[in-house]
Amino acid sequence: MLATLLRPDGGSARIFGHDVVREPHAVRQLIGVTGQYASVDEKVSGIENMIVFGRLLGLGHRAAKARGAELLEAFGLAEAAKRPVAKYSGGMRRRLDLASSLISQPPLIFLDEPTTGLDPRTRGQMWEVIRDLVGGGSTVLLTTQYLDEADQLAARIAVIDRGRVVAEGTADDLKASVGTAALQLRLSDPAQTGEALATVQAVLGIEATANPEASRLTAPMADPDRVTDLLVALRERGIRLAEVSVQKPTLDEVFLTLTGHGAEEGTDPGGPDPDPAHPGSPDAAPGHATASHPRPRAGRGPSRPDTTEESAA
């Protein structure tokens, strides 16, 4: 809907002051959209794809070729510029697809699950590309089901479940909203599990839980400074530890707490399927995708006004 591909059934939304329903042409001049699936032509080369997109955006042939070559260089595709896209790897196609959406240098970029299906190394490369876009002054609105990706990239996160925003804030805000840090202990001797549970209860006043292996204990921790007291008590009772850590809740734990299910569990069985005509639109993402909104870093690139969203659809 924000990309003007679908009409909202209620509410309103503006992109840089332009209404997405009444001024769709103005909005489209300000945005770039990279769908969940690469939309490049596999029968021609990378640079030919870039020229085609440039020409569609009103550039002359020479300007389109120059801009295409510049972007291919920036995305590490210069050596493959004349190679047919059919011979590109999945990661190369995703980078080419993203590069083609930047020909007009849009101030706002929609990325719909840009790293889906990529191997860890290529995924990391895409993260760097996205960080560079934000560092250069663009605003990026990204949808993802990889919650660690949202944690790594987003300045603000909206958690969406079955089409509705159930929480919004920074990663730290969301983690703090579901509770305290978690204390994790791994015992050297599983036979001491019962005594260790009793010690945690006595020192911290909280109830720890043992995992099925019975050698690892987990307990909520409001005051990490109390860990020292617990370690002293365990040592006095002869309970040896193989590992101890205090960690913040993860975004996966946030999502589970807020929705009661994991981010990867399918869409709402009673809801509509994603629009087959626009499989790459941001609103076609599964209902429990996490939406993130990285913002430009201070001192790098021009500042951009925030995108406002008030759509109730």
CATH of domain 180-248: 3.30.70.260
User: What is the rounded distance in angstroms from the CA atom of residue 82 to the CA atom of residue 104?
Assistant: 22
pLDDT of amino acid 183: 84
pLDDT of amino acid 34: 85
Give residue 231's Cα distance to chain centre.
Answer: 37
Which residues, including other chains, have CB under 8 Å from residue 75's CB and lie 6 or more apart? 95, 96, 98, 99, 129
* Coil vs helix vs strand at 77: coil
Give 236's pLDDT tier (boundaries 50, 70, 90).
Answer: very high
- Residue-wise pLDDT for 172-222, tens only, equals 888 887 766 788 899 999 889 999 999 999 998 888 888 766 578 888 777
Specify whether domain 11-174+259-311 bears CATH 3.40.50.300.
yes
What is the average per-residue pLDDT within 284-306? 37
pLDDT of amino acid 195: 93
Higher per-residue confidence, 294 vs 171: 171
Please provide the DSSP assignment of 288-306 as one string: TPEEE---PPTTSS---PP
pLDDT of amino acid 263: 61
What is the average per-residue pLDDT within 72-83? 92
Domain map (residue ranges) of the chain: 11-174+259-311, 180-248
CA distances from 287 to 7, 58, 66, 274, 292 (A): 17, 36, 40, 9, 14
pLDDT of amino acid 262: 58
- Give the pairing of strands 11-15 and 18-19: antiparallel
pLDDT of amino acid 209: 81
**What's the mean per-residue pLDDT of the chain?**
80
**What six digits make up the tokens of 305?**
């006004």
pLDDT of amino acid 162: 87
- Residue-wise pLDDT for 43-76, tens only, equals 999 999 999 999 998 899 999 999 999 999 988 8
- Residue-wise pLDDT for 89-145, tens only, equals 888 998 899 899 889 888 999 999 888 877 888 888 888 888 988 888 889 999 998
User: What is the rounded distance in angstroms from the CA atom of residue 27 to the CA atom of residue 12?
Assistant: 14
What is the average per-residue pLDDT within 271-286? 38
User: What is the rounded distance in angstroms from the CA atom of residue 19 to the CA atom of residue 2?
Assistant: 9
Question: Quick check: 247 pLDDT over 60?
Answer: yes
pLDDT of amino acid 239: 94
pLDDT of amino acid 213: 62
- Residue-wise pLDDT for 105-119, tens only, equals 889 999 998 888 778
Give 39's pLDDT tier (boundaries 50, 70, 90).
Answer: confident
